[in-house]
Amino acid sequence: MSTFNIAVLPGDYIGPEIIAEAVRVLEAVGRRFGHTFNFNEALAGGAAYDVHGEHLPQSTLAVCEAADAILKGPFGGPRNEINHPKWQGVEQNAILPLRKHFDLYLNLRPVAVPDALLGLSPVKEEHVRGTDMLICRELSSGIYFGPRGDRQVEGPKERMEREVFDTEVYREHEIERLARDGFRLAEARRKKLTLIAKSNVMSSGLFWREVVDKIKPDFPDVALDYMHVDAASMEMILNPRQFDVIITSNMFGDILSDEAAALLRSLGMGPSASLNESGFGLYEPIHGSAPDIAGQGKANPIATILSAAMMLRLSFELPEAALAVEQAVDKVLAEGLRTADLASAGEAVATTEEVGRRVAELVGQG
Ligand code: IPM
Ligand code: MG
């Protein structure tokens, strides 16, 4: 019997719909296992801009600081409205500072293909069956946070022109802490760690290899593999089963995790946990706010529900409750209750709420 305080940031467009289903499932967990979850909602992203004129108000950070964990929906607006003040820079103003504020450097993105979805994967069943990887994406540094600029420089024919740049910067301790976590996680799994970088071109990529090679002797049971990111993105499709734990930089992890989620057919299936050195965590789906389908009950809530399961396991140390949620999700998929992103042509389409209610019901039944 415990009480947990969860900061809930529903975010934009489909955010409130999918967060509501994760909350419903957590409430079912509370009833079944006798825990109390207090949900403290706060505004962030475009939703906060409407009320506070900024994307990440201090009051929202205060709610997050007071919580045991953060459950976050997607922030952001339509791609063609990036110059609208409500949406301009929302990711840079809200998501990045939130990650930085809590030093959430370890982003865990598991991708395991459930049997019920084997036939739906764009990759042939025989290649995708048994896929079970854990992408550890560095989340607090790299090109997302390095020096950036927008300046006038002299171009061809002595005409001035704009030059815009972002910079990949990594410090040794930033690579080392992520790599140690990757080795530890691999030790507890199939004992294989793949570092993905671009060491043939980037000095930071070479640095990742040096740092990882240096700590490798501390983990004699783990087989370390290295892949350039271009080759890795091909291997992800040709032979996804070969991956166990992956460690990679912020940007490569962003790209590769969307690619890996495609093995499940939909980004709507990708959960994530972001942790700092004291184990404090933020949990969010890896997908965006999907303005085109918002408010229609079409969004897949599973990525958010599975993110909540990660919260149960990693922040609250409730492995049994986490497993109950994961098994309920598998069952719902096996039953064929699927939102449009997963439904095949001619198949009945379930709503966001139907999926959430059924998962909660199964969790309640035990
Ligand atoms: C993700 C998203 C974010 C990222 C965006 C929305 C800033 O794509 O969590 O993968 O790039 O980290
Ligand atoms: Mg992404």
The whole-number pLDDT of residue 339 equals 97
Looking at 247, 264, 281, the residue that finishes a domain is: 264
Ligand 1: which residue has its CA nearest to atom 6? 91
Residue that is written with structure tokens 């993905």 in the block: 196
Check whether residue 225 and residue 243 sit in a common domain.
yes
SS3 content of the chain, % helix, strand, coil (to 5): 45, 20, 35
Check whether residue 228 and residue 326 sit in a common domain.
no
- Is residue 201 domain-resident? yes
Mutational pocket test of ligand 1: of 70, 95, 267, the residue with most ligand atoms within 8 Å of the beta carbon: 95
Ligand 1: which residue has its CA nearest to atom 7? 91
Ligand 1: which residue has its CA nearest to atom 11? 254
Looking at 198, 233, 264, the residue that finishes a domain is: 264
Find out whether the beta carbon of 91 lies less than 6 Å from any atom of ligand 1. yes
Question: Of residues 12, 181, 244, 254, which has the active-site annotation?
Answer: 254
Tens of pLDDT, residues 304-315: 999 999 999 999
Check whether residue 167 and residue 274 sit in a common domain.
no
CA 267–ligand 2 middle distance (angstroms):
9
Find out whether the beta carbon of 341 lies less than 6 Å from any atom of ligand 1. no
Whether the CB-CB separation of 285 and 304 falls below 8 Å is answered with yes
The whole-number pLDDT of residue 347 equals 87
Structural domain containing residue 57 = 1-107+266-366
The pocket of ion ligand 2, defined by CB under 5 A, consists of 254
Check whether residue 259 and residue 161 sit in a common domain.
yes
Joined together, the tokens standing for residue 195 give: 């570092």
H or E element that contains 46: helix 46-52
Number of domains in the chain: 2
Active-site residue 230, yes or no?
A: yes
The whole-number pLDDT of residue 109 equals 98
Check whether residue 210 and residue 278 sit in a common domain.
no
Check whether residue 248 and residue 272 sit in a common domain.
no
- Is residue 362 domain-resident? yes
CA 127–ligand 1 middle distance (angstroms):
28
Ligand 1: which residue has its CA nearest to atom 4? 254
Find out whether the beta carbon of 135 lies less than 6 Å from any atom of ligand 1. no
d(CA 241, CA 327): 21
d(CA 97, CA 61): 10
Check whether residue 152 and residue 76 sit in a common domain.
no
The whole-number pLDDT of residue 43 equals 97
Find out whether the beta carbon of 254 lies less than 6 Å from any atom of ligand 1. yes
Check whether residue 53 and residue 137 sit in a common domain.
no
Check whether residue 71 and residue 171 sit in a common domain.
no
The whole-number pLDDT of residue 82 equals 87
- Is residue 117 domain-resident? no
- Is residue 88 domain-resident? yes
The whole-number pLDDT of residue 116 equals 87
Kindly give, in sequence order, each residue whose CB lies less than 8 Å from that of residue 123, ignoring residues fewer than 6 positions away.
Answer: 237, 240, 263
Joined together, the tokens standing for residue 205 give: 């990529």
- Is residue 112 domain-resident? no
The whole-number pLDDT of residue 60 equals 98
- Is residue 135 domain-resident? yes
Check whether residue 17 and residue 72 sit in a common domain.
yes
Domain at 163, CATH number: 3.40.718.10
User: How, if at all, do strands 160-166 and 245-248 pair?
Assistant: unpaired
Looking at 249, 264, 279, the residue that finishes a domain is: 264
Check whether residue 169 and residue 83 sit in a common domain.
no
Ligand 1: which residue has its CA nearest to atom 2? 286
N- to C-terminal Cα separation, the chain: 17
SS3 for 228?
A: strand
pLDDT under 70 in the chain at which residues?
A: none
For residue 95, give the ligand 1 atom closest to its CA: 7
CA 113–ligand 1 middle distance (angstroms):
22
What CA dihedral angle connects 43, 47, 53 and 56, to 10 degrees? 40
Find out whether the beta carbon of 95 lies less than 6 Å from any atom of ligand 1. yes
Check whether residue 74 and residue 129 sit in a common domain.
no
Find out whether the beta carbon of 286 lies less than 6 Å from any atom of ligand 1. yes
- Is residue 115 domain-resident? no
